[in-house]
A and B are shown apart, each in its own frame.
Chain A
Amino acid sequence: MSEIITLAKNALLEPAGLGNQDIETLMGKLCSMNIDYADMYFQYSCYESWSLEEGRVKSGSYNQARGVGVRAISGEKTGFAYSDAILLPSLSNAVDAARSIAKQGMDKSIALTWPEKPELTLYSSANPVQSLGDTDKVQLLEQVDKKVRKLDSRVQQVTASLSGVHEVVLIARSDGDLVADIRPLVRLNVNVIVEQNGRREQGGAGGGGRFGYQYFLEHGRIDSYAKEAVDQALTNLDAVGSPAGEMQVVLGPGWPGILLHEAIGHGLEGDFNRKGTSAFSNRIGEQVASPLCTVVDDGTIADRRGSMNVDDEGTATQNTMLIEKGMLRNYMQDTLNARLMGVSSTGNGRRESYAHLPMPRMTNTYMLAGETPPEEIIASVKKGLYAKNFGGGQVDITSGKFVFSASEAYLIEDGKIGRPVKGATLIGNGPDVLTRVSMVGNDLRLDPGVGTCGKEGQSVPVGVGQPTMRIDGLTVGGTQE
């Protein structure tokens, strides 16, 4: 039996004295007649966070959750129940509640396959919370504070936080598969407020991924987060009102890939397309972007925030071609929607926790590099906007309208980056925005590892990325006509 499965069984089943036989019996009961598919999702997670303000780490918290989610699917119907305790009686109750979606019948006999082969390991199974001593975590944040304050005397406030999650999941499926994953996740964020002549502005930076806290101590990362946050805040001190209206927009590399996540990513999730509620429904094989655009969703990149060895339904993650040279190729699927649409799951079935139902979600969504040097792209714009960094975004998948808000942006005048402008919201129409992409840079970059996606009240960590790109005609929501 492989190592991860053994670790997961030790963490999730053994404390309650549950063995293979118990799981098989419960699964048999769950899969009584009329149930097409069922699964049990056992999860343990511990989460810690430390936060600094006024130069000192004054608060810290440690949270632990353990539970099991039980799901039974009959046709398009899903019965779901969960328990905060992994114990036989509560598990039995959850099984009864979940399977009540279908008419009762004989229990089936299910034999689970305990895998022998080693799983793919995109990241370490070590607990990141224990990757550094508590004193060192505190010192790490204090160092961030010192570095930020040393950079500029206009810095007034520094807040920084460090957090880590250790998650162990074990998924038993009615088709007999038993799959486990152990996922680390860490994140460091810093925010600064600067003041000059009574005007205050903020800037922020951060990063993270699926590894231990040592990551932040390497390659001068703290120095670069500090510099990025301060630079952004100082830049905003000089910002003038943003222009309003439709114009040429150049998006920088990396995190601005949130455009892809909002404008097309959500619209390509399988649930919306099965129901025909997405602006991209029934459009596979159609040209939905300029031929310069190739976009993938890739859950298999080592150490990335959006990566997983297997998704939350136990399906191996994969690199899915969404848009190939402008042509729509695939939707992102979970088990339920794939079955109802007659295709295979793409390993995009994700859930926030055992207390939530899985649904199709993105992993790391990015556009492949083009051939143009980024300087040439900027130089090609006579009058427009260069958006370097963004806050959050949102989309209405039915009308296709999406927004995302710039946190650092500049005017482009005669091919040169000019004055910084106040953060403006950019708005567009998903199915047509990528048809307006006229230049794609050779500088593909993935985001630093801070993205969280919300859908139907569930949050999951995700990644985005893109090279520099030029969009001819995007509405900029500024104040200056």
Chain B
Amino acid sequence: MKTLVKSGFTRDRIDATSALVQLALDKAKASGASAAEASALVAHGLSVTVRQGEIETVEHNEDNSISVTVYYGDTLGSASTTDLEQAAVIKAVEAACAIAQHTAEDSCFGLADTGLLASEIPDLDLYEPNSITIEQAIDSAKACEQIALDSDSRITNSEGASLSMQEGLDVYGNTNGFLHGLLRSRYSKSCSVIAQDASGMQRDYWYDTRRHFSDLESDASIGQKTAHRTLRRLGATKLSTRQAPVIFEAPVASSLVSHFLSAISGGNLYRQSSFLLDHLGKAVFPEYLSIEELPHIPRALASSPYDNEGVVTNERTLVQAGVLQGYLLSSYTARKLGMQTTGNAGGPHNVIMSHGESDLAGLLRSMDTGLLVTELIGYGINSVTGDYSRGAAGFWVERGEIQYPVDEITIAGNLRTIYQDIVSVGNDIDTRGTIRCGSVLIGNMTIAGN
């Protein structure tokens, strides 16, 4: 097989992309816009999937887009295109300008305040040029899957293993003179297998995703965890309906933090569609908990020196001793709320929840009897009321030890109560995503079954 993997960005490519953003800004000004901002993304990559030892897909991707927002005083219009030819970019700017003729004014619209824009851009080591060939990627995926398949005779089938290598260049510019590009890379490895016995089939998976290829979990570790997680689900049964303590295993516990972040994000607050309206300065979590946002962790997935508006990002405390200290705001949502942007246009950066000394086994012991949740399905979260009801699978725990797997149950409560009812957080931090937290023990939830 021929090896065709695109790697790296030439200086010319970076300059040309920046020039295109500048062209969009200039064109907007020339069309009478009072201000404009534009961002371009140029990315390429490769992903391979193998299944049962054979190549299933080899996908080459090449993604280009530019989006522009123009302001005419207090009105705006936006447009985007995947065509980076100059003519197409100009056409997009014209489309945005046309839309701005029909939209209503809002005095909160506009670019970020100049004084808040990032001036020094630290290198956060978010980019490693790809040096992995297609053959190496295929071999690695095959190894992950083979280790999982070989680990137990009850593993009878596979959904395959994948490896993905992606590189991207992100350029953001606005008419207040900001123009900067960031290079990022992302490598992912995943495996999913199926185990079967007389009780039926169960599937599970494991994955890792990192900015640098060398930071990825080994093939053996991915394969072994996939096999372990799949096998332990065999023979799952329903529980009877009951109240019990619940542990969210670290990979699913981050979803609880994610609902919190959504509730304190500016868009939901000014539209009053948050269950945490007017909670600034109030206790949302127990006193021993804090949550920080650390945007500058080297190589971390959600690290960034500036946000989607060029505003500098800073370390900050979202929750101190259980009390909500700040929201996640962009310039627009901040103005809507009469506040200042927090550098969160585009969302949160690395969010870290504090933890105790116990590992997951320790949490299980302190729970004694209850439910360990390892998978959640469905979308049963009401963002306005905080009502929570989701499908779950996991394990019933007694005397601090896993007894048997369970599925086809739901867990329910209200997020405001659930947050206050966090008994402890484990030190088994999952560092793969935007949110870093350990397993979370909740004092009591309603489990529905038969």
Which A residues fall within an 8 A CB radius of B? 53-54, 56-67, 76-85, 94, 96-98, 100-101, 103-104, 134-135, 137-138, 156-157, 159, 193, 200-202, 242, 244-246, 275-277, 279, 355, 357, 391-396, 398-399, 401-405, 422-425, 427-429, 475-481
Do B201 and A481 have beta carbons less than 8 Å apart?
no
Contact of B113 with A by CB under 8 A? no
User: Which single residue of chain B is at the shortest CB-CB distance from A477?
Assistant: B410
When A and B form their complex, which 7 residue pairs have the shortest distance between CB atoms, in order from nearest? A477-B410, A403-B378, A56-B104, A403-B391, A398-B203, A244-B448, A425-B380
20 A-B pairs in the complex with CB atoms less than 8 angstroms apart: A58-B104, A59-B78, A62-B98, A63-B79, A65-B83, A80-B60, A84-B83, A97-B60, A157-B273, A200-B272, A244-B410, A275-B51, A355-B63, A391-B380, A392-B378, A399-B203, A422-B382, A429-B408, A476-B448, A477-B389
Contact of B4 among A63, A100, A276 (CB under 8 A): A100
- Which listed residue (B54, B104, B407) contacts A401, Cβ 8 A? B407
Partner of B448, one of A67, A275, A477: A477
Q: Is the CB of A58 within 8 A of B99?
A: no
Chain A residues within 8 Å of B371, by CB: none
Pick from A53, A57, A83, A405: contact of B389, CB below 8 A. Answer: A405
B446 touches A79 (CB 8 A): no
Q: CB-CB < 8 A to B200: which residues of A?
A: 279, 399
- Kindly identify, within residues 52 to 70 of chain B, every residue whose CB is under 8 Å from any CB belonging to chain A: 54-65, 67
Complex interface: chain B residues within 8 A of A85 (CB): 83, 85
Contacting residue for A481 out of B67, B242, B375, CB 8 A = B242
**B-side interface size class:** 35 or more
Quick one: given A60-B77, A398-B203, are A479 and B241 in contact (CB under 8 Å)?
no
CB distance from A184 to the nearest CB of B (A): 19
Pair A392/B379 contact, Cβ less than 8 Å: yes
Question: Are B377 and A396 in contact, with the CB atoms below 8 A?
Answer: yes
Q: Which of B83, B96, B106, B393 contacts A66 (CB 8 A)?
A: B83
Q: Binding site of A, secondary structure by majority: helix, strand, loop or mixed?
A: strand
Using known A-B contacts A56-B104, A398-B202, determine if residue A475 contacts B448 with beta carbons closer than 8 Å: yes
Known contacts A63-B80, A134-B99, A157-B273; is A401 also within 8 Å of B384 by CB?
A: no
Q: How far is the CB of A89 from chain B (nearest CB, A)?
A: 13
The CA-CA distance from A275 to B448 in the complex, in Å, is 33
In the complex, besides A156-B272, A277-B203, A477-B411, 12 extra interface pairs with C-beta distance below 8 angstroms are A60-B103, A62-B79, A65-B83, A84-B62, A94-B60, A103-B1, A138-B102, A138-B104, A357-B59, A424-B380, A475-B238, A477-B389
In whole angstroms, what is the CA distance A428 to B407 when docked? 10
* CA gap between A250 and B383 in the complex, in Å: 26
Closest Cβ of chain B to A358, distance in Å, is: 12
Contact B446 A478 (CB under 8 A): yes
* B236 CB-CB contact with A under 8 Å: yes
| Bound CA–CA A71/B265 (angstroms) | 41
Tell me, in angstroms, the Cα distance from A96 to B67 when the chains sit together: 30
A393 to B379, CA, bound (A): 7
Enumerate chain B interface residues (CB-CB to A < 8 A): 1-2, 4, 51, 54-65, 67, 75-85, 88, 91-92, 95-96, 98-99, 101-106, 109, 157, 159, 194, 200-203, 233, 236, 238, 241-243, 271-273, 375, 377-380, 382, 384-385, 387, 389-391, 393, 407-414, 446-450
Docked pose: A78 CA to B358 CA in angstroms: 46
Smallest CB separation, A127 vs chain B (Å): 14
User: Do A84 and B64 have beta carbons less than 8 Å apart?
Assistant: yes
Is B385's CB under 8 angstroms from A201's CB? yes
Contact assessment for B157 and A79 in the assembled complex, using a CB-CB cutoff below 8 Å:
no
Assembly CA distance A100 to B59 (angstroms): 11
Q: Is the CB of B272 within 8 A of A404?
A: no
Assess the A245–B57 pair: CB atoms within 8 A: no
Closest to A55 in B: B104
A479 to B390, CA, bound (A): 11
Partner of B58, one of A67, A79, A202: A79
| CB <8 Å contact, A477 and B390 | yes
- Whether the Cβ atoms of A59 and B103 lie closer than 8 Å is yes
Contact A53–B382 (Cβ < 8 Å) = no
Q: Contact partner of A479 among B273, B384, B413, CB < 8 A?
A: B413
- The answer, among B57, B59, B271, for a CB contact under 8 Å with A53, is B271
Contact indicator A245/B54 (Cβ below 8 Å): no
Bound form: Cα–Cα A425–B200 in Å: 24
In angstroms, Cα B80 to Cα A233, docked, is 35
A residues less than 8 Å from B102 (CB atoms)? 57, 60, 134-135, 137-138
Task: Check A427 against B391 for contact (C-beta < 8 Å).
Answer: yes
Which chain B positions have C-beta within 8 A of A96?
A: 2, 4
- By a CB distance below 8 angstroms, the chain B residues around A428 are 408
Q: In the complex, what's the smallest C-beta–C-beta distance from A443 to chain B, in angstroms?
A: 27
Question: Which of B81, B411, B449 sits near A245, CB closer than 8 Å?
Answer: B449
B82 lies within 8 A of A100 (CB):
no
**Cross-chain contact A481 with B241 (CB below 8 angstroms):** yes
Docked-complex contact A405 and B203, CB < 8 angstroms: no
Determine the chain B residues whose CB is within 8 A of the CB of A100 once the complex forms: 1-2, 4, 58
> For residue B79, which residue of chain A has the nearest CB?
A62
With known contacts A134-B102, A202-B384, A246-B449, A60–B51 Cβ distance under 8 A: no
Chain A residues positioned under 8 Å from B82 (CB to CB): 64-67, 84
- CB <8 Å contact, B59 and A62: no
* Complex-state Cα separation, A246 to B98, whole angstroms: 55
**Is the beta-carbon distance between B378 and A404 smaller than 8 angstroms?**
yes
Q: A193-B273, A398-B202, A481-B242 are in contact. Are A425 and B80 (CB under 8 A)?
A: no
How far is the CB of B249 from the nearest CB of chain A, in Å? 17
Contact: A57 with B201, CB < 8 Å? no
Chain A residues near B51 (CB-CB < 8 A): 76, 275
- Which of A137, A202, A394, A477 is in CB contact (< 8 Å) with B273? A202
| Docked pose: A53 CA to B238 CA in angstroms | 44
Task: Specify which chain A residues have a CB less than 8 angstroms from the CB of B4 in the assembled complex.
Answer: 96-97, 100
Given A244-B446, A276-B157, A399-B200, is A193 in contact with B384 using a C-beta cutoff of 8 Å? yes
**Contact A200–B385 (Cβ < 8 Å):** yes
Q: Compute how far the CA of A401 lies from the CA of B159 in the bound complex, rounded to whole angstroms.
A: 17
Taking CB atoms, residues of chain B closer than 8 Å to A137 are 102
Known: A57-B102, A427-B410. A475 touches B449 (CB 8 A): yes
| CA gap between A242 and B410 in the complex, in Å | 12
In the complex, which residue of chain A has the Cβ closest to the Cβ of B84? A84
Closest-by-CB residue of B relative to A399 is B202
In the complex where A58-B106, A405-B379, A477-B389 touch, is A245 in contact with B79 (Cβ < 8 A)? Answer: no
B55 touches A423 (CB 8 A): no
For A60, give the chain B residue with the smallest CB separation: B99
**Complex formed: what's the CA distance from A395 to B203 in Å?**
12
From A57, A104, A429, give the contact of B104 (CB < 8 A). A57
Once the chains bind, are A64 and B88 in contact (CB under 8 Å)?
yes
User: How close is B59's CB to chain A, nearest CB, in angstroms?
Assistant: 5
Which residues of A are found within 8 Å of B98, using beta-carbon distances?
A: 62, 134
- Do A78 and B194 form a contact, CB below 8 Å, given A62-B99, A428-B408, A475-B408? no
Contact A78/B58 with A62-B95, A201-B384, A427-B409 known, Cβ cut-off 8 Å: yes
Interchain CB contact (< 8 A) of A478 among B92, B99, B389, B391: B389
CB contacts (< 8 Å) of A53 on chain B: these are 271
Q: A427-B408, A427-B409 given as contacts; is B243 within 8 A of A76 (CB)?
A: no
Q: Is the CB of B202 within 8 A of A202?
A: no
What is the minimal beta-carbon distance from A54 to any residue of chain B, in angstroms? 8
Query: Which among B55, B411, B413 is the interface contact of A77 at CB below 8 angstroms?
Result: B55
B382 near A202 (CB under 8 angstroms)? yes
* Contact partners of A391 in chain B: CB under 8 A: 379-380
Separation of A157 and B269 alpha carbons in the complex (Å): 12
Residues of A with C-beta under 8 A to B236: 399
CA distance A357 to B61 in the complex (A): 11
Complex Cα spacing A97 to B101, Å:
44
Is the Cβ of A64 less than 8 Å from the Cβ of B449? Answer: no
Q: In the bound complex, how far is the Cα of B60 from the Cα of A135, in angstroms?
A: 42
Most buried by A among B76, B109, B382: B382
From B76, B384, B385, name the one whose CB has the most chain A CB atoms within 10 angstroms: B384
Please indicate the chain A residues that have their CB under 8 angstroms from the CB of B271 in the complex.
Answer: 53, 157, 159, 193
